[in-house]
Chain A
């Protein structure tokens, strides 16, 4: 399993995992602007919930600033922190792709801002910028597939 993301030494080239998890690496700033023009912005304060487990909102979020925590329900209202998400990350890609309810909750650790890219706006975006939309989808598919690969290997190891 590639855990190099935890050992991202300064000055070294981005870890394999880090590079692999990168969305639209080759997109230009201008292309990003086109994409972000289809997003809407929401600011949040520390402690605010952005996504609740079980919700059906199927948007993709870009974290513009701030820090979020991903929380997994543990029953009886308790949660466990699964990960911390830093600015520049993309959140919610699974629900964006599969329409299933959110599997985790996301709460803000600091104040910050997210850019929300709804499925509906994605449709519009894909009609206006088909090539970029195709790249985005292929990239999301690639990232989700890489993760599935890791998961499959983990299961094959019987752990």
Chain B
């Protein structure tokens, strides 16, 4: 199996092939062999010549091609060169620049002269051969005595180095350098340091002469090979030099011609020339090799073996060409596309790594991803930070946007709250499912993103249904309507249940619609249940359908399609629409409200179609800020205008609002206070806004988020009592018999004039309306609902009374940009505000929910220790 040609590790990064001691032993053996050869040169000259020229020299180029590292480690000249370093007697000088500059040419010239002298001298004169080998050993030793590392011979003048660099650039097996312990960095683009890259690095070096040397070598080698084997046998040295020199020049010329003609990279051209030279060499040398063996008594069919070797060399060299070709793009990609590095790897990253080792791991299916949780961190935060496909809405366990199946380690999650349990029940999930926003991770947990991987919930107890009840109609497909439908179906399997919704989508996560503005996914990520949810429960559903009229006397609902539905009980959950203050010219293109998914998609579409750059959001409430953040994420300049003097005036006090303002301005939002939009101006499209103070503001997109207006026309036309919404009692009954109302459209008589427009309120009212419609007796008892702002980096919780009223007391703590406030009434917690304290959110919400008496721990709380709230 060939080593990866794309593995550019240097020798220090590769595992040792043999222990250093073994290499030393082998090198001693190598030196002994060469000593024996020298001795043979005098004792048995013909045998020495045959062994050297007939066996060693024909075999070596194949070694250079396949296992060059073997030779680089065992070469006796290298061993000789490295002896002074091994025994600590080298002067260790740096090779002078001039010599360094011409080292390749010196080596190449030496090779040329040595080859030219073969025919006239070395091929048949063993004494001269001994002189050649001995001289080379001496020069290598001298180089090692004077110059540092391998720069005195192996890395510079060695006549075979240019050839080894060419052929050894894509070994079948990289055998790392075992000489240099340690590396002294003596040679530029050192072959022994990084054999796979050295040739390429020269060709692409900033110093163009390095590449020129390499091309010269590649061009000359085929010429030199052909020259030697075709040289006239009886010519003198002068004729030999001339003959060889001309051949080499023809080779070099051919090289330039090839580059000019084929316009391939220097890497490709040099490699093809190298392969040609190798095949030329073995064309002749194969016969020599097997001829030598045959002469020495091995009974070989020389011709057949020679042809076999020629074919083998051809195949090997083609393999080598392909592998070497493939390296260049990788080399270039790595050189020009290096990954950025940090110098802190050793300390900070590793330290961070070590700390995370103690943290709980969430194993996420599908994919078995191992995510490391923050201590006590929310599962939802973890999943979101890892870009998992998970929804999020209220982040309080009320909307049910983020159910996940817990496959293992359920005991390592924070316990399930009542609110979360109710939501899971509504969604039809039983044990084994949690809402990611409500589960804190204490230990290892296995999670599947598909909650369907856990078992479904058991059915609720059937109720005693009144005899006259056959059919219930629900108007509205928001969370109040769907909750009502679900509750009814749980208790009443057989009844006829109709649901009419004006929007075209099944129930979706309205709290996350701003994600449609900047996210890449459309509706799919927002849907809270599939379309077949209704069919599975036998709920007859009309989506994208409007109700024209209600006839309470005949108990009929007339649809705008012309159809009519009879009802025994009617539940109105028609929701609300955006409230738009009077703005002149609001009909212009580019003016939007944001209430339904369609609105968000229309905004995204408009921004793209008209390349909108400047947006104004009118209204600094929760929705306004979330819309502004979404537009900011899309890359627009965004200005938020609010008519009051602070942000989130219904959720925050002035201090908290100030902190939030600083952060949002840091994000890049521009904020303006005491300002209202008076007119939207332009031609057909919005160009600028006129404000209440007379100033104008250029912009190409306006989003009005000024609150909600309940949809109460149907109810009022039918004769129901309405205020801001459809007025209902604590059983969600309207003033018309058998007609209930819930959700945004309803105004509970217990809090006249208030239409909270909150998801959690709609869920509870939908449930109460459903139970009472079935003949039960359920009473609405509102609880404070925590609200949060879904803007990245804002950890905000506001619940109950956030400003101390008469007779209340407040505990306020501020720490940099973090802020927390607890409002107590006669010692009981009635409200809280948290900014930058996600870790306290659960405790605070629970304390307000329960109206916990903390009068005894005022001092502790004031000192900042709020752990007692949990109790």
Contacts and interface: CB of A to CB of B under 8 A. Distances in A.
A78 interface: no
A126 interface: yes
A11 interface: yes
Interface string A125-138: 01110100000000
Nearest to B332: A154
- Chain B contact-residue range equals 35 or more
B348 A36 contact: yes
Interface string A6-48: 1111111000011001111101010011001000111111001
- Chain A contact-residue range equals 35 or more
B817 to A, nearest CB: 8
A64 B190 contact: no
Contacts of A45: 370
Given A42-B369, A127-B666, A62 B201 contact: no
A127 B633 CA distance: 13
Interface in B327-378: 330-350, 352-353, 356, 359, 361, 368-372
16 contacts: A5-B335, A6-B10, A6-B335, A10-B183, A10-B185, A21-B340, A22-B343, A27-B344, A29-B348, A32-B349, A40-B382, A44-B370, A84-B9, A139-B340, A150-B335, A154-B336
A67 to B, nearest CB: 11
A65 B760 CA distance: 44
A139 B340 CA distance: 9
A43 B342 contact: no
With most chain B CB atoms within 10 A of its CB, the pick from A29, A42, A63 is A42
Contacts of B7: 84
B188 interface: yes
Interface of A: 1-3, 5-12, 17-18, 21-25, 27, 29, 32-33, 36, 40-45, 48, 56-57, 59, 62-65, 70, 72, 80-85, 87-91, 93, 113, 115-116, 118, 120-121, 123-124, 126-128, 130, 139-140, 143, 147, 150-151, 154, 158-159
A85 B206 contact: no
A40 B201 CA distance: 38
A1 B372 contact: no
A71 B359 CA distance: 31
Contact of B182 (A10, A56, A85, A118): A10
A108 to B, nearest CB: 11
Interface of B: 4, 6-10, 12, 182-185, 188-190, 193-194, 197, 200-201, 204-206, 263, 265-266, 326, 330-350, 352-353, 356, 359, 361, 368-372, 382, 385-387, 520, 633, 663-664, 666-668, 792-793
A127 B667 contact: yes
Contacts of B336: 1, 147, 150-151, 154
B623 to A, nearest CB: 19
Given A6-B334, A9-B190, 6 more contacts: A1-B335, A2-B206, A2-B335, A25-B343, A113-B356, A118-B385
B387 A36 contact: no
B386 A90 contact: no
A73 to B, nearest CB: 13
B343 A90 contact: no
A127 B663 contact: yes
A85 B339 CA distance: 7
